Structure 1
Amino acid sequence: MQTPELFTLAVYGSLRQGFHNHHLLAHCEYLGTFNSANRYTMVDLGSFPGLFHGNCSTIVVEIYRVDEDTLAKLDILEGHPEHYQRHPQTIEGFGEAWLYLMPEGYLDTTKVPQVSGGDWRAYRNA
């Protein structure tokens, strides 16, 4: 029997523990919560955040080990590759993980609220 391929995924919004899409990761191995380097912009898009390269903010991510079937379901949820694009990123204190980013120019980030501090949970609880 062939061992399924596993992927490391960093999530920062509705897939985090306690949010409405976390059930899709409930069976996956949780590897920890980390802060990224200062290289992102997180914006509030209503019930979920958007994430872009640039503007030098850190983000809080939870990292999971996911199988190919779960990754395929998450790609559908995230609208990969049109709405969000999954890219490998280095997460400080952890290493490389896939992260869903919005394409450059997808929307004008000056016209939506920015999530200062890059922590979707803290922002939603404020």
Structure 2
Amino acid sequence: MELVFVYGTLRQGEENHHLMDNARPIALMAWTRGILMDTRRGYPAMAAEGSGVVAGELYEVTLEMMSRLDELEDFHGFGNPANEYERIRTDVTTDSGKREAWVYVYRERKYDVIAHGDWKLHLQRQNPNVLYFAYGSCMDMERITLAGAAEWFADVRGRGVAEGFNLQFTYRAEDGGRADLVETGGRTEGKLYSIPTECLDGYLYLREGVHSGKYRPTVVPVQCADGSIQDAVTFVVVDKKSDMSPPGHYLREILRGARPVVSAEYYAELEDRVWKEYEFRLAE
């Protein structure tokens, strides 16, 4: 068996993902160092250079599957001048630790670089609207309204569920922890909005500290109220630390925003956790 890191059309929901049907998923929210480029031919290419982040998914595959991937990526053997892609080893970071895996790369930078190194996010941003999964304080409208951004968040699609992800508080602000979606099993419920794509740059990237490296945008599969699974944009902590107790005002936003939209069972669990771990209760 081999580990392979995929970042383009082999990812879940993309054109060539059927080739991964029998692969064992290790992580859907993995990343490695490099740059991602748009070939303008319907697929991206990674170059293993620089200190940027390329987002993708990590799978365990058989040698037979690896051969099919070699064929797809036009890889004919190590150092073969006919290769479109080279196959190299890279360190892949997941929320459960680092793993070494194969990845298909271009030899050099040839095309425009994709911001945030995420092909799924790049595709989402080409639409006029995107699904946004809020699992923390953005479930609450108070700060959104005060910032004059309420109109962007008017289209609420109800409860969203991210299976395989836990709510933790791994970002350390001066007054305590902030929420993070961590791929270590479990289940996290939140609020789904349909937002104009301009809201990402116009509000959410600023609020989440994307440009200062606090959080990064990513795309996760979320179960919607109608039972369908759809890709949604969310934000996760870049430099994850151990859990840190959040301040009361922040927990208040999370509980207040969650109560009208998440399931009664999830809310009760969240309320109980917040009391037992952080000794906070939401005033009635």
Structure with max Cα Rg: 2
TM-score over 0.5 for the alignment?
A: yes
Amino acid at match of 1:117: H
- Scaled by the length of structure 2, the TM-score of the pair is 0.39
Q: Does structure 2 conserve the Cα–Cα contact (< 8 Å) formed by 1:34 and 1:94?
A: no
The one of 30, 34, 45 equivalent to 2:30 is: 34
The 3-state SS of whatever aligns with 2:4 is: strand
Q: Does structure 2 conserve the Cα–Cα contact (< 8 Å) formed by 1:44 and 1:114?
A: yes
Give the match for residue 96 of structure 1.
100
Give the match for residue 246 of structure 2.
none
The 3-state SS of whatever aligns with 2:58 is: strand
* CA–CA distance in structure 1, aligned partners of residues 62 and 49 of structure 2: 30
The 3-state SS of whatever aligns with 1:73 is: helix
Equivalent residues, number = 114
Correspondence 1:1-126 to 2 at 5 A: 6-32=1-27, 33-36=29-32, 39-46=33-40, 47-81=42-76, 82-92=83-93, 93-104=97-108, 109=110, 112-126=111-125
* CA–CA distance in structure 2, aligned partners of residues 25 and 69 of structure 1: 12
Q: Which runs of 4+ in 1 moved over 4 A?
A: none
Alignment gaps of 5+ in structure 1: 1-5
* CA–CA distance in structure 1, aligned partners of residues 4 and 64 of structure 2: 13
Per the TM alignment, residue 113 of structure 1 is displaced from its structure 2 partner at its CA by: 2.4
Per the TM alignment, residue 57 of structure 1 is displaced from its structure 2 partner at its CA by: 1.2
* CA–CA distance in structure 2, aligned partners of residues 74 and 91 of structure 1: 18
* CA–CA distance in structure 1, aligned partners of residues 45 and 59 of structure 2: 19
What percent identity do the matched residue pairs reach? 28
Per the TM alignment, residue 26 of structure 1 is displaced from its structure 2 partner at its CA by: 1.4
- Scaled by the length of structure 1, the TM-score of the pair is 0.84
* CA–CA distance in structure 2, aligned partners of residues 66 and 35 of structure 1: 18
Alignment gaps of 5+ in structure 2: 77-82, 126-284
Q: Which moved more, 1:21-30 or 1:88-97?
A: 88-97
Per the TM alignment, residue 35 of structure 1 is displaced from its structure 2 partner at its CA by: 2.1
Give the structure with the higher percent helix: 2
